[in-house]
Amino acid sequence: MTDREQLLDDLRPVAFAIAYRMLGSVSEAEDVVQEALLRVHQALDSGEKIASPQAFVATIATRLAIDELRSARARRERYVGEWLHEPIITDGVDDPARHAETADSLSLAMLVVLESLSPEQRAVLLLHDVFDYGYPEIAPIVGKSEDNVRQLASRARRHIEQRRPRFQTTREQQEELARRFFAAAEQGDLAGLEALLAHDVELTGDGGGKAPALAHTLRGRNRVARTVSKGFRRAVRLPGVSLRRVEVNGAPGALFLDAEERLISVVALDMADGQISAIRAVSNPDKLTHLGPVGDARSLLRSGRSR
């Protein structure tokens, strides 16, 4: 590997970490990364002196992500069903999204909150609070004055603090909650499930019109518990289907796999104040291909009905 290739390889996780948090999409983030690295390569070819390659690529990736976010929002308005972020599996692997992270910034719960911010607010908050850039460095990246950048960060931070849980759930509590949740779901233990769920828990599925999923988000402990119990029991009874516990975006989750170990769905749990506050299931195959081979959920369901 040449020095140039090594540099670009080192810059890739920096660009991806920013782009994924901005966009919540692996495929869109990878497009941003490719374009950002190409521009670094072209700048070096033209003889441009780059004092800090990391700052250079962060600037490009952020600007590209802001532009991509504006067009992505229009596409998401036409999306079939509920739209969820593309999950990444983070248990014990050197995933590029984890190189410059705080666990909170990678969680699906935080990505959902970030969706409510403007592209510039999101960029400023991430660059300052997650990636440790100073306001004077951020100002030229987003094309604002330093005072405006500070105001954007302050408003974004207030908005996020209003939606944070009052009490954080420890890693040990999360693991125990997840263990009990998946055991109760597979066993059809309705009372056990309800005991783990927050009163206003939400259940959201994203099939993108290409895989079975809930049409709309369900809310409420009893409704969610009944739906989860029924769905899990039906899934694990399908021929060859198995459930594998994993860490999804830094929090407990699971994969549903078919008999050939192809991915059917990713389930992620959000936890707050010692309870499960949200359950998210992504089954749209387009959002799972970056994780490996993807199975056909509809065919599986048809085969289950014919048995």
Average pLDDT over residues 242-249: 94
Does 307 score more than 80 pLDDT? no
Report CA torsion sign: 250, 65, 286, 96.
negative
Q: What pLDDT, in 10s, does the model give residues 261-271?
A: 999 999 999 99
Q: Which of the four pLDDT bands, split at 50, 70 and 90, describes residue 305?
A: low
Does 21 score more than 70 pLDDT? yes
Phi, psi of 38 (to 5 degrees): -60, -40
Q: What pLDDT, in 10s, does the model give residues 152-172?
A: 999 999 988 887 766 677 888
Per the structure block, which two tokens stand in for 178?
């997840």
* Residue type at 293 in one-letter notation: P
Does 44 score more than 50 pLDDT? yes
Q: Which of the four pLDDT bands, split at 50, 70 and 90, describes residue 96?
A: very low
Q: Which of the four pLDDT bands, split at 50, 70 and 90, describes residue 182?
A: very high
Measured distance between the N- and C-terminal CA atoms of the chain, rounded to whole angstroms: 54
Does 225 score more than 60 pLDDT? yes
pLDDT of residue 57: 96
> Whole-angstrom Cα distance, residue 278 to residue 274?
12
> Whole-angstrom Cα distance, residue 300 to residue 290?
21
Helices (H), 144-220: 146-162, 171-187, 190-196
pTM of model > 0.85: yes
pLDDT of residue 99: 42
> Whole-angstrom Cα distance, residue 240 to residue 260?
8
Q: What pLDDT, in 10s, does the model give residues 97-148?
A: 444 345 578 888 889 889 889 999 999 999 999 999 999 999 999 999 999 9
Average pLDDT over residues 243-249: 94
pLDDT of residue 93: 54
Which stretch of 44-58, 87-101, 102-116, 173-187 has the lowest confidence by average pLDDT?
87-101
